[in-house]
A and B are shown apart, each in its own frame.
Chain A
């Protein structure tokens, strides 16, 4: 049922087919963890049913005041996270180019030294007592979103003998249908590590990789406070239902 107070007609068309050549395949041996974790048989395809077309709604009411401020949401009162202060902002669009409102965006990242607050991360860079590394927001009516954080550091990881992840922020996106569910990573314009990363390299199309690189956005910086990066994200679009599901002759 439509959300109370909403004058939008809910969209119920099936989602555009996913372009599996554009995404990284399951098996990318340069990223060793994928070798034993990649399905080897063909996916079974079918057109969306209600189970894929539908999805839960997350209301703005669930958000806390500091949920989109990683500089402060784990910090002691009066303190803040260490690092290069940045604003990340952009729009969530669908493949038809329209802003998608009400998308739950969750993000997580290492601190400015490249260390995650996680017991499995043993990197020697220190934890920042004022940085947790998670945040979330919900897109506005035009699909827009913004959050404040520190630029994460690059970090070494056990894959090849000397592999480093480029600076990145992990993004989880929850659109309107469960079939739109997506996790990706945002990289930073100009980072030379992007083109050496085996995880990035799982994507074969250069333009697809560039779609994950946020641009420095001087017009959105706050002078004497924070730099800004613009990162737009695209979710699967819905087909128009104009001529669907009409019995012949009607």
Chain B
């Protein structure tokens, strides 16, 4: 770990000005569960840490339209335990609870979770080339250890995934990220928040430089009461997703009235399955149509030799989850 200094601002203004000063490479420190890990690995080496844990961003408030405004430093465990989240957004509660461990969820924050870096082994090993960590150095993953990596929205320069669970549920819910920067406040729809790599994988998100996330807004979605999150992984608990699905469904008789599907572990961006959703609106709520929609979504997949298993895995996860939600199977 490279030497650094630590500042603990007491107000958002102070934090923004510390971050905006730009004299030395600066990182925001929230729970530290990703950043401190990457500092130890010399994957990130800021010279100044600005602690965002004391800015009063730890509240979960009801919004006037029946949604929730989730503060940036609300801990993942507190968010999952919030009765409003458990009742109105089971997919979000289950995504949070399926992530990491009890200890890490107690530390991890809403904003830190969105901003967590990929778990690609080449990215996390500072002795290896990686276009994300060191632009232009190459991507050994495409031909190398790629079983965990992406197959949707990837490029020749990077096949890393966003590894998180929470953001997958937030993408299904059309959440909105709120931030402040030196030149004012702004918002980004969550679907536009994580970038696809193209030929520049160095930036994970569209968050402007110098911005601090203040909250994530989750709009109301009545049929989210019929929603869940399912995660396939190499051990039953305390492991990142090989693939995951967040889904909510509204069924009228035997017909799908409305549906939300997002996929995790398959792309640099929590992947909203727009194609599958479109096919399913108005379609019969049957295993056949669920499977056909999932297959259509995966038609654009560009798997590597090692992660080709994810194509089938995602189709089965989506089909299984939708059958579970429509009561056809448990």
Say whether A and B bind each other: no
Chain A residues engaging chain B, CB cutoff 8 angstroms: none
Chain B residues engaging chain A, CB cutoff 8 angstroms: none
